[in-house]
Amino acid sequence: MQFKVPSLNQITSNTITTFKRFPLAVISALITMVLILYLIEQESSKYEHFETLIKIAFTSSLGVFMFTALRLFGDKNPLCLVGIVAIVGYYFVLPDMKNPSSIVFERHVFLNLMFFIMIFWASYWKSNPSNDEFWEWTQRVVFGFLTSVLFGLVLYAGLSGALFSVDKLFSLDIDAKRYGQLVFLVIGLFGVNYFLSQIPQNPHKLNIHAYTKIENIFTKYIITPLVIVYFLILYSYTFKILATGSFPKGILAWIIIAFSFVAVVTYLFWTPLWSEKARKYRRFLFLALFLQTIMLGVAISMRVGDYAWTEHRYMITLLGLWLFGIALYFLIFKNAKYKWIFISLTAFIMISQVGPFSAYKIGKSSQQNRLQALLKSTQPLSEKSDIQDRYEISDMIRYLNNTYGIESLKPILPEIVTKFQDQNKTKDHQKNMYYDFPAYATKALGFSYISRWGLKREKEGKKGNTSFSIHRPPIKTLDIKGYDWLVEASYVQQRDKRKNMTYHFANTISKTDTIFKLYKDALEIKEANIIIAHIPLSSFYKEILEDTKFQSFREERSSEIKNFEKLNFNYKDKNVSVKILIFDLYTDQNHTIDNVYAKVLYKRL
């Protein structure tokens, strides 16, 4: 496939044609762009209409690929109206967007992926194209998407470079958020329109091109050797399992999926290269894939048996079933069609994201049942309860809270959840409920929270001294009266068995020569490369570490801390007036400072 740089006239003409062909997709992209630009400008989730606007932005962004795919089903079809209804419905099922869980973003990504995959087969849903014809169409869609990304990156690099140059040359002091807004301007005005313009007008009248030299090299000497390497690794491991009787490791599932993806893509890339003599060998690839899906099933069944379903295990299982079905289909049917690879994948993604059998409903229900059963079997709980039971209860509470929200634990721990919500509903740091509840819940159950690292320490016999951490909730507004500048300072010490590395993040005040550098035991301030203040902090840190109010371990994320005034340090001499506010502080098991993050209020005297 040849690469051509479009002229300005071509881009303008294609933009008009694209809008006429995909009006709803283009409008969706523009709405998303405008809303994100506005939200970046507002900068705060406390903005009155923030939640409404972010939900509309989510909804409209889903429409870009969805309306493109629905339009490809035909010029005159009612599916676009169905799409509008679906978009409106999606808006109302979106949860609270002020503190969304990771599931909201994960589902959104998968739904976009589903509609993007639908683009590959929507034009052929009524027809039965040859594999060569379908692969030609697929290449053009993928190539159009990749070139739109490439051109978008080049355009953004050029525009951001121009913006930076104007800022520095003319001292305009341009806000850094303009660069973020520029990203979405490029995507909304150029990226989406260019991609849509590259989708062929008539998929049934495509000229099938011969591979270029680059495509031949990529297929024969890059992607094919990768498949062979994966094949050798996986089957060597399979033989090891059969020989030793050892069980497969958890990472095996991901390796098999990676192999399967590369194998299927390789098979598709070989489409125009198969000779008549070589065609009989094509089925060996799917035979290898078929056998590995069986191994994938064994690995997943063991994980589910030990730890129950999660959304990710469920999606891996569905992906394994899809791979199993595709491998079987290509092994049984001599004239198997490529379009069913994409149609079936779309269906499996839809099942995993929508409806009563979605990954999130199955995962949530399974983990709730597992936690409930474990709580019943381990009563009464205390610090003397089995460490493994305490860890598993801690981990399941953390997982349900972080993934599905605190409401998912209400059916299991109704009194604890209600009491925690009542204690926190009037606080200004609601986001910290995300971190604080697991430690609060386990303490209410009768024991301290156990993290993975805490379990490891206990099993290794490392009791006594433990690591220590403090986390101050975010401060939305900060009184800077009496100071001229607010800067950030960080200290990070990284250790491993071979080396001891220390990182100091120096911050410089804009338009001055003042540099702030935070060390393990002091804050140093330089002006024109001359030290004007060296502020010792060892005694300050020692007071924090010895104060019983702050004796909460890393697992508990400082949930008991009520007053953070002791995390503030004031210093004044003839040169400077400084106030240091500690936001994060970590130590190792010997209470040696590992990491510090602070904000510094500064005035030059």
Query: Could you report the per-residue pLDDT of 427-446, keeping only the tens digit for each?
Result: 444 555 556 788 889 989 99
Under DSSP, is residue 560 helix (H, G, I), strand (E, B) or coil? coil
What whole-number distance in Å separates Cα of residue 98 and Cα of residue 85?
A: 25
Q: Where are the domains of the chain?
A: 8-205, 213-360, 378-460, 485-604
What pLDDT does residue 346 have? Answer: 96
pLDDT band at 365 (very low <50, low <70, confident <90, very high): very high
pLDDT, average across residues 333-359: 93
CA distances, 434 to each of 27, 429, 561 (Å):
36, 10, 16
Instruction: State what percent of residues in the chain have pLDDT above 90.
Output: 41
The larger pLDDT score, comparing residue 130 to residue 231, is at: 130
501 confidence band (pLDDT: 50, 70, 90):
low
Q: Is the dihedral of CA 580, 584, 587, 588 positive or negative?
A: negative
What is the pLDDT at residue 498? 47
pLDDT of residue 552: 41
Task: Name the phi and psi angles at 425, rounded to 5.
Answer: -65, -25
In the predicted model, what is the mean pLDDT of residues 366-377?
94
pLDDT at 299: 84
Residue 90 is encoded by which pair of tokens? 């999606």
Q: What is the pLDDT of residue 554?
A: 38
| Rounded Cα distance, 73 and 125, in Å | 7
Task: Identify the residue with better confidence: 503 or 30.
Answer: 30
Chain length of the chain: 605
> Distance between CA 516 and CA 533 in Å, rounded?
10
The whole-number pLDDT of residue 114 equals 97
pLDDT at 278 over 80: no
Give the pLDDT confidence of 119-168 residue by residue, as tens digits. 999 999 989 999 999 999 999 999 999 999 999 999 999 999 999 999 88
Residue 371: is its pLDDT beyond 90?
yes
Euclidean distance between CA atoms 181 and 197, whole angstroms: 24
Please say if the pLDDT value at position 496 is more than 60.
Answer: no
pLDDT digits (tens, 9 = 90+) for 233-272: 888 888 888 788 776 666 778 888 888 888 899 999 998 8
Using CA atoms, how far apart are residues 492 and 502, in angstroms rounded to an integer? 6
The pLDDT score that the predictor gives to residue 492 is 79
Residue 549, pLDDT > 50, answer no
Place of tokens 């801690």: 394
Q: What is the mean pLDDT of the chain?
A: 84
* Separation CA 25–CA 83 (nearest Å): 11
Mean pLDDT of 16-27: 92
* pTM of the predicted model as reported, rounded to 2 decimal places: 0.78
pLDDT at 99: 72
What Cα–Cα distance (Å) separates residue 542 from each residue in 211, 538, 566, 592?
69, 6, 12, 10
User: Residue 170 burial by CB count (10 A; 0-12/13-18/19+): exposed, middle or buried?
Assistant: exposed
